[in-house]
Amino acid sequence: MKFQGNVWKFGDNIDTDLIIPARCLNVSDGSELAKSCFIDVNPDFARDVSSGDILIAGRNFGCGSSREHAPLAIKEAGISVIIAGSFARIFYRNAFNIGLPLLESEEAGEGLSEGEQVSVDLATGEIKNIDSGKTFHAHSIPDFMRELIEAGGLVEYIKRSKIRP
């Protein structure tokens, strides 16, 4: 799976309340949640993000509560993949459960700037700055997690598999 888009950049310790504030959790519809995504950090994010854009962050992205709305808001806003130095474990799993790919790469977080064009190859973990030609590498995603992404998330994966609850 390959992605290409503009970079949106955030720092370290972006918690789930910064991604989608608690006051905005009175809806569960993804498109409605997307309208409030990062509203307290970057009020223009939801308006200006384009489908396919790529989010770059520092360490411990998605920390805080186990708010499942957080990765959903990001995905529904149009972000195709998140690359961070590290992720809070519950956010990591919630994202894969809805089919939002995540890559861990500190060097990409440090070497990319907001607004640059980036291509990402999930299979190889290669992250390429299209503007400068510089290449970064991410830790590989386990095969099962890639299967979840390809299926569109855990529910779709189970629907397509022979696994039955």
Give the whole-angstrom CA distance, residue 6 versus residue 26. 30
Per DSSP, 134 falls in state -
Give the model confidence (pLDDT) of 140-152 as tens digits. 888 889 999 999 9
CB 78 within 8 A of CB 50: yes
Among 106, 26, 124, 9, smallest CA distance to 69 is for 26
Give the model confidence (pLDDT) of 44-68 as tens digits. 999 999 999 999 999 999 999 888 9
Give the model confidence (pLDDT) of 64-99 as tens digits. 988 899 999 999 999 999 999 999 999 999 999 999
- This prediction has a pTM of 0.93
Give the whole-angstrom CA distance, residue 17 versus residue 22. 6
| Dihedral angle sign, alpha carbons of residues 142, 144, 148, 154 | negative
Full set of structural domains in the chain with CATH: 2-160 (3.20.19.10)
| Dihedral angle sign, alpha carbons of residues 62, 47, 101, 164 | positive
Give the model confidence (pLDDT) of 94-125 as tens digits. 999 999 999 999 999 999 999 999 999 998 99
